[in-house]
Amino acid sequence: MQLLNQSQLIINGVVMKNIHKVILVFMMSLVFCANTQAQNYNDALRLSEPGIITGARSLGMGNAYIALSDDFSASIFNPAGFGLIKKMVISGGLNYNSFNNNTSFFNQNTTLSNNVTNFSQIGVTLPFPTSQGSFVLAFGFNRDKDFNKALGFNGYNGGNNSYIQDLTSYNDDIAYKLALSYPLYDASNNYLKDTTRINGGLNQRGNFIQEGALNSWSFSGALEVQKDFFVGATMNLYNGTFKKTHEYFEEDLNNNYPSSLLLDPSEPGSADFKSFYLRDIIDWDISGVGLKLGALIKMNENFNVATTIKFATKYTVKETYSLYTQSTFGTGDKFSYVPTEERLEYEISTPAEYSVGASYNKNNLTLSGSVTMIDYAQMKFGSGLDYSATINKNADITNLMRTVYNLNAGVEYILPNSGIALRGGVMLMPSPFKDDSSDFDKKYITAGIGYNFSDRSSINIAYVYGWWNDIGDNYGSNISRTSQEIKFTNIVTSLKFYL
């Protein structure tokens, strides 16, 4: 009878272990699904924040261009400005973008940068003869924003926390598959939870590299409805790509987990822990349609006022998510886990933008300014994601985000009898998060120069320098945090040909 009871216990143990594996496989699929569906406010913000890439003249003047807009950049700022153009114009631009991130992580500094060069603008503006007033059409390409970013970090976390522990606390199958955690049972051999013998004391390092861009094919029209009063519209067809590659390491540099310790008691190869590695990649294909309306009034020959509205834009995101993980031990054993690539398609709606601006010109001097209101709490996740998760994500947006007022100011002075224009400007883009201090506001200063080769051609060059702070958490909240000082450089060169 005792032998039968022992046999039954053994059978029960084997069955429960197999059931646990089945449960973990099921949980793994749920967790991996959760990873692929872990979209949050940052993803909506990526598409909602305005880019700063424009034509070189407008950028040199701090993008304070709503009440000017007398070149192809009107498709970005104020389509009513096309009504000011009297000649056919072909324009194009080239953009250089540098993102530099100096990161502090457990009192260690790491600097990582990411640079990219691309066409920024190609456009054609076509004025049509009218008996009075003006009628202008325009079409072309704009690179609305670059997604390139970089973040690197490397430091020893002496606390009693780690990514391995964080994964284990959720019974995540990654730690189990890599022999970094193991199951606990009660006295009746019922599965309780996973646990790990890792208790912090690891070096943590890694990087995030982002790349891609949001582009638009724009179709614009402007009409002078009465003398010195112009209205216009731009329809944008958006397309773009975004890719974020994340690599993360945890390493036992101080031999806190020696060869005498098995991280999984049932796995002899789990002695002498050396490292845990995770790489995940998010890849987006983006599409959408947007509309912008504008009006511009010439109050007199020197003073313009203008207003625009960019309506909420709905983007479709086709996302691919892939994951690779590996653990390494001093025994020579390596355990890897590579789930199947996952694909999703969902919608993100960005908030409307309301802008007003004015410009003043006299004696070769032009001053301009503008204000844009954006309520980031209006960002929304739409169809394609789990219904309850979508509600929670949108609730997070409402609770975390606020209304901001972006400020732009610029100046241009044309040197007499030289064909040379000198420009300067400032831009302020407050952080959309409610509790952020001004350190997290994006601040830019700009400078530019233009030269007219003749009445038929000109070149413009703009330089931008920006700076702001940011933070990020590898897991949890403020226990493995990166503090970032970001420096941003942008150079745009534009050519215009008048026909």
pLDDT in tens, the chain (499 residues): 333 343 343 334 433 333 343 333 333 333 333 343 478 999 999 999 999 999 999 999 999 999 999 999 999 999 999 999 999 999 999 999 999 999 999 999 999 999 999 999 999 999 998 888 899 999 999 999 999 999 999 999 999 999 999 999 999 899 999 999 999 999 999 999 999 999 999 999 999 999 999 999 999 999 999 999 999 999 999 999 999 999 999 999 999 999 999 999 999 999 999 999 999 999 999 999 999 999 999 999 999 999 999 999 999 999 999 999 999 999 999 999 999 899 999 999 999 999 999 999 999 999 999 999 999 999 999 999 999 999 999 999 999 999 999 999 999 999 998 999 999 999 999 999 999 999 999 999 999 999 999 889 999 999 999 999 999 999 999 999 999 999 999 999 999 999 8
Tell me the sheet residues that pair with 115.
Answer: 98
Rounded Cα distance between 20 and 184, Å, is 10
- Farthest-apart Cα atoms in the chain, separation: 111
| Domain map (residue ranges) of the chain | 37-162+198-498
- Three-class DSSP labels, the chain: CHHHHHHHHHHHHHHHHHHHHHHHHHHHHHHHHHHHCCCCHHHHHHHHCCCCCCCHHHHHCCCCCCCCCCCHHHHCCCHHHHHHCCCCEEEEEEEEEEEEEEEEECCEEEEEEEEEEEEEEEEEEEEECCCCCCEEEEEEEEEEEECCEEEEEEEEECCCCCHHHHHHHCCCHHHHHCCCCEEEECCCCCEEEEECCCCCCEEEEEEEEEEEEEEEEEEEEEEEEECCEEEEEEEEEEEEEEEEEEEEEEECCCCCCCCCCECCCCCHHHECEEEEEEEEEEEEEEEEEEEEEEEEEECCCCEEEEEEEECCCEEEEEEEEEEEEEEEECCCCEEEECCCCEEEEEEEECCCEEEEEEEEEECCEEEEEEEEEEEHHHCEECCCCCHHHHHHHHHHHHHHECEEEEEEEEEEEECCCCCEEEEEEEEEECCCECCCCHHHCEEEEEEEEEEECCCCEEEEEEEEEEEEEEEEECCCCCCCEEEEEEEEEEEEEEEEEEC
Report how far Cα 214 is from the mean position of its chain's Cα atoms: 10
- In CATH, the architecture of 37-162+198-498 is Beta Barrel (2.40)
Residue located via tokens 């509790």:
435
Orientation angle between helical segments 387-400 and 41-48, nearest 10 degrees = 70
Of 418, 424, 423, 497, residue with least CA distance to 451:
418
With 0-12 CB in 10 A as exposed, 13-18 as middle and 19+ as buried, what is 8?
exposed
263, 304, 410 from 57: Cα distances, Å: 62, 18, 10
Q: pLDDT value at position 39?
A: 87
Q: Residues for the chain: how many in total?
A: 499
CB neighbour list of residue 495: distance below 8 Å, 6 or more residues apart: 91, 92, 93, 457, 458, 459, 460
Of 127, 128, 122, residue with least CA distance to 140:
122
Cβ(47)–Cβ(354) below 8 Å: no
